[in-house]
Amino acid sequence: MARDDFNRRTVLKSTGIALAGGALSSGSVLGAARSESEREHLRSVVQRAREIHRETGSPKRHDEYLDGTDVSVQRSVSGPGDVTADDDGPSVSPAAVSGVSSTLNVYSSGGSASAYYNVDIASQFGGGGSPKDKVGITWPNSDYELLQNGTGKNNAANATLRDSGFGGAVWDFADGVACGLTCNLSFQLSTEMDVITNDTPRKVEGTYKSVSGSCSSAGVSFNVGGGFTVSGSSSSCDIDVKQLDRNVTSDY
């Protein structure tokens, strides 16, 4: 069944290349969102674009539709050997080992924006138990502001919102429940934001972190420059965090 999301396989089939932070259509943000009607306009256009992708299976048709609107999209694809670089330096997704790859789409129009982080997991290894993995959509807190009730998910019954704030949103992902002995699944997380600066580049980051150890749970904190940090529930337990995917787009 076709789903309303992008994944690495469909994007590469359409484009033949992986774009690391490249803009597929141009556009400039003119200022902070001024009204709910502006936000609703973005929702409507993005919903139609993603419906076209779901119906046709073609990211190209999705992009052609957006070309006739005032909505721009930045897309980044991560996978085996792909490198995403920004001011924090390069980050390589070890998908050849972890089986994790992703597509990050960031839409913008006027002072409104939305981000869709599509995660693909195809691994011979199953998921772990507690603590749960962490998946986030984050940004520098000077770039965007998360809308109230501005998080969403699709095909992600095992993802539960852990924390949200000025720096984005992070979900707990119950990989042990979702994967079993092996893992072959895709899911989508999303955020809606207001743009709060005209300074560019503005950065959005999608990150998947595998968490294991003796702690029964793990908390998160947002980094000022984007991304998030995972910590154990207490100083008396051990925690091991492996970053399996980091996908960054920059809006110029």
Residue 32 predicted with pLDDT over 50: no
- Cα–Cα distance measured from residue 215 to residue 238, given in angstroms and rounded to the nearest whole number: 6
Residue 86 predicted with pLDDT over 80: no
pLDDT at 124 (0 to 100): 60
pLDDT digits (tens, 9 = 90+) for 107-125: 999 899 999 999 998 876 6
- Cα–Cα distance measured from residue 204 to residue 93, given in angstroms and rounded to the nearest whole number: 16
pLDDT digits (tens, 9 = 90+) for 122-180: 876 666 777 889 999 999 999 999 999 999 999 999 999 999 998 999 999 998 888 87
**Inter-residue contact 115 to 204 (CB < 8 Å):** yes
Q: Nearest to residue 173, comparing CAs of 93, 223, 232, 119?
A: 119
* pTM of structure: 0.82
What are residue 224's phi and psi, to 5 degrees?
Answer: -60, -40
- Cα–Cα distance measured from residue 123 to residue 48, given in angstroms and rounded to the nearest whole number: 32
pLDDT digits (tens, 9 = 90+) for 224-237: 999 999 998 888 88
| C-alpha torsion angle, residues 206, 173, 214, 183 (rounded to 10) | -100
Average confidence (pLDDT) over 183-201: 92
